[in-house]
């Protein structure tokens, strides 16, 4: 790991307005629905649902909202069925962008994602065109303001729990896991009472691209703003060094 912290983005996300919070809750609500349909409504027997619940709590989603989402997904056989769809493409100056979606209409989503890329001077490519530049990893971020620990001792704890790597950033501890070890490591930290600012399986860039042109920066932000406004978009991963 390079120690390239994305924690500033997490803090920024938590400070966004209520509309943005509503968007995050919509995203998590869809993930809850999919997790319940695929593995059942009991978190004890559904590790994916446990992971989504942890993500919901990290984003300050109220417990009753989480419970309602689970009950609705479990009790409504005719509820909307969401499908996963992933789009890959290029932003300005060859920046690599991966867009993960959950949608009930792939044609609509594909058109909207393509539109976002086009308006920001980018283009959607073929599957696999940029994903080889990323590694799929579990990433857990812990705010040092919410959790203080001796870095060396904490590193030994997380490595013993099954983590691949540990980074002591200025404002956060960053824990990296293999995708199939993510749930186990997260749950061990949860049992230890470690508060997590973010815990999710992500696509982490192997290298980062620096944009020096103001025009390129405006364009890539245009892409991200349009994608952020799209309800079907769950995650956006990129290799721009902001």
Q: Where are the beta strands (DSSP E) in 144-238?
A: 165-168, 172-177, 198-205, 233-238
Tell me the pLDDT band of 22, cut-offs 50, 70 and 90.
confident
Within 13 Å, how many C-alpha atoms sit on residue 118's CB side?
A: 6
Q: What span, in angstroms and rounded, lies between the C-alpha atoms of 229 and 226?
A: 5
Q: Is 14 helix (H, G, I), strand (E, B) or coil?
A: helix
Gyration radius of the chain's alpha carbons: 18
Kindly give the residue spans of alpha helices, DSSP state H, lying in 40-173: 47-58, 63-75, 106-119, 151-160
- The pair of three-digit structure tokens given for residue 21, joined into one six-digit string: 């919070």
What pTM was computed for the model? Answer: 0.82
pLDDT tens-digit series, residues 34-74: 999 889 999 999 999 999 999 898 888 999 999 999 998 88
Find residue 192's DSSP bridge partners. none
The answer, yes or no, to whether residue 11 has pLDDT greater than 90, is no
Domains parsed from the chain with CATH numbers = 6-75 (1.10.10.200), 85-132+207-238 (3.30.70.980), 134-205 (3.30.70.980)
Reported residue count of the chain is 242
> At residue 14, does pLDDT exceed 60?
no
- pLDDT tens track for 87-132: 999 999 999 999 999 999 999 999 999 999 999 999 999 999 999 9
Q: What's the whole-number average pLDDT of the chain?
A: 88
Q: 82 by DSSP, 3-state: which?
A: coil
Lowest mean pLDDT among 13-22, 84-93, 94-103, 167-176: 13-22
């Amino acid at each position: 790991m390079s120690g390239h912290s994305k924690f500033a983005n997490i803090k920024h996300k938590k400070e966004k307005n209520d509309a943005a919070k509503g968007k995050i809750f919509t995203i998590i609500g869809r993930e809850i629905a999919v997790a319940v349909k695929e593995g059942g409504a009991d978190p004890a027997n559904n590790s994916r649902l446990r992971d989504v619940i942890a993500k919901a709590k990290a984003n300050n989603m109220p417990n009753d909202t989480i419970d309602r989402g689970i009950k609705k997904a479990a009790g409504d056989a005719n509820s909307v069925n969401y499908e996963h769809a992933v789009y890959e493409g290029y932003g300005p100056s060859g920046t690599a962008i991966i867009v993960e979606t959950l949608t009930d209409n792939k044609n609509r989503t594909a058109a909207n994602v393509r539109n976002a890329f086009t308006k920001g001077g980018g283009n959607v490519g073929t599957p696999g065109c940029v994903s080889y530049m990323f590694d799929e990893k579990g990433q857990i971020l812990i705010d040092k303001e919410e959790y203080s620990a001796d870095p060396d001792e904490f590193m030994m704890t997380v490595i013993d729990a099954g983590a691949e790597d540990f980074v002591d950033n200025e404002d956060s501890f960053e824990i990296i896991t293999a995708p199939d070890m993510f749930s186990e490591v997260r749950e061990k930290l949860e049992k230890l009472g470690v508060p997590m600012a973010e815990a999710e399986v992500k696509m982490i860039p192997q290298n980062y691209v620096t944009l020096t042109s103001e025009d390129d920066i405006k364009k890539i932000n245009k892409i991200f703003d349009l994608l952020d406004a799209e309800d079907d978009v769950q995650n956006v991963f990129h290799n721009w060094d902001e």
